[in-house]
Structure 1
């Protein structure tokens, strides 16, 4: 794992991140659509609407990513970040790459003066839950989360 480098993604990384993002979306039962996944990552980064961190191995291949969305908390009247996506290529899991991505995202949020980070994960994704809890994240027992899809089928 020591040969894994974490950095903010650059425009030259969009295609490689798009491949992983497509796999991430498939994990959440979305149809494979590499063009859509890549276009989404490109749009978010070009418009500075999100921050994408990438994990590169010794061969300089991108093997994981996480995506943060900056936002605010009205209650704390402060900046927060939502960590919406974290994914590591299935061929290199269990090597601490996800944890390195998580730590880089947390450090970035601290440097930006954020007071909190939020995330959601599937109830069935126990490996992700174990990672988050081992890194000090606390499951919310105070608030319920609701969603309302505004388009057909939520996509």
Structure 2
């Protein structure tokens, strides 16, 4: 299987939504395809994120990654937060995750971003192995915190 990776358009939202819903379920959220569709559609419609879509030879969506523009105050420069990366189970082991990461890196470089940041679950060893094999560095300096406000 060969893969084609490109920036998603609003017309791709229905194809990405099932993958996004599966991604959310991986992180122990209840299935909600309508919410997934709405969320992806809004991000693309409002240009609030960049979504790269991986398609197989038949044009079926088999993976995606989503980048959110942000800034690093310390470096006084723009960055991307790579928040979502998901490959359909049927397409795993064929390089889709690696190709999506490479495409994200290329896109970030072309957009003048100085780096990309990401987080993953402590238990997601497969993703950690991929990130480290591709040169991503584990942050051992800063500790991440979160607080619900709504």
Bin for the TM-score computed over the shorter chain? over 0.9
Structure 1 unaligned regions, length at least 5:
none
Q: Deviations over 1:16-47 (max 9, x none)?
A: 10010000000000000000011000001100
Note the residue ranges of structure 2 that are not aligned, 5 or more in a row: none
Equivalence map 1:1-155=2 (5 Å): 1=1, 3-151=2-150
TM-score normalised over the length of structure 1 = 0.95
Aligned residue pairs, count: 150
Q: What is the CA deviation profile of residues 115-135 of structure 1, one whole-angstrom value per residue up to 9, with x for unaligned ones?
A: 111000000000000110011
Report the aligned-residue RMSD.
0.7
Structure 1 stretches of 4+ moved >6 Å: none
Q: Structure 2 length as normaliser, TM-score?
A: 0.98
1:59 CA displacement: 0.7
